[in-house]
Amino acid sequence: MASNREAPNAEPLTLEIDGKGRVSALWMMPSDAHTVYVLAHGAGAGMKHAFMGAIANELAAVGVGTLRYQFPYVEVKAKRPDPPDVCHATVRTAVAEAARRAPTLRVIAGGKSFGGRMTSQAQAIAPLAGVSGLAFLGFPLHPPKKPSTDRAKHLFDVKVPMVFLQGTRDELADLALLEPIVDELGERAVLRKIEGADHSFHVLARSGRKDPDVLRELAREIAEWATSL
């Protein structure tokens, strides 16, 4: 499934969030796309973070287009994340824009850490129109060194398929806690363990792998899961 072709250029967009201002976005669509992934960033970095750009490129190489977007607090360079209702509204606007731009493609949503959690919360409250499933790049189950499952409670109200891509060294998701949750979610949830990766999907040099290898693995897993929906 992988390709060596160059990723398409990212087209800058502006999204109007209902009653909450404007945010920037980036649209990247390969010519052979079968899926578009509405891809939210993590809490501490925006859509132009190196990880976000790199994973978008790798996804394009396996036929997955992306709509990356900012949450309003990042747009105005604030450090404190927006209230959940603002984040949820932003997710919905981004999903609607992706569906409008690619009406014949499968749409999935989610993102890195905080962005994925805001997406799943929005989906749990009311289904995101046209979304076939949610993909989490490091679901933040709990803060570092504070194991808990409270952040997973809303996942049981999500009725679309979900894939959790989790590093085995992720300090924000104790696999001993996450695995039973995924099992309890049943057929609509799958866990893909990324061996040796931390929450940022970095791997140790002694693992014999490099970060670009992990990015390609993540993209391949997302593409294969999406085409199975």
Asked if pLDDT for residue 4 goes beyond 70, the answer is no
Domain count, the chain: 1
Picking from 63-67, 96-100, 186-190, 202-206, which range would have the lowest pLDDT averaged per residue?
202-206
Asked if pLDDT for residue 164 goes beyond 80, the answer is yes
Q: Does 2 reside within a domain?
A: no
Structural domain of residue 205, as residue ranges?
11-228
Q: In this structure, what CATH number is given to the domain that contains residue 184?
A: 3.40.50.1820
Higher pLDDT, 132 or 21: 132
Q: Does 23 reside within a domain?
A: yes
Asked if pLDDT for residue 217 goes beyond 60, the answer is yes
Picking from 73-82, 114-123, 188-197, 203-212, which range would have the lowest pLDDT averaged per residue?
203-212
- Region 49-72: mean pLDDT is 97
Band (pLDDT 50/70/90 cuts) for residue 5 is low
pLDDT of residue 205: 86
Asked if pLDDT for residue 52 goes beyond 80, the answer is yes
Q: Does 97 reside within a domain?
A: yes
Q: Does 83 reside within a domain?
A: yes
Picking from 29-43, 112-126, 195-209, which range would have the lowest pLDDT averaged per residue?
195-209
- pLDDT tens per residue, range 144-155: 999 999 999 999
Q: Does 95 reside within a domain?
A: yes
Asked if pLDDT for residue 1 goes beyond 60, the answer is no
Higher pLDDT, 207 or 160: 160
Secondary structure, 3-state, the chain: CCCCCCCCCCEEEEEEECCCEEEEEEEECCCCCCEEEEEECCCCCCCCCHHHHHHHHHHHHCCEEEEEECCHHHHCCCCCCCCHHHHHHHHHHHHHHHHHHCCCCEEEEEEECHHHHHHHHHHHHCCCCCEEEEEEECCCCCCCCCCCCHHHHHHHHCCCCEEEEEECCCCCCCHHHHHHHHHHHHHHEEEEEECCECCCCCECHHHCCCHHHHHHHHHHHHHHHHHHC
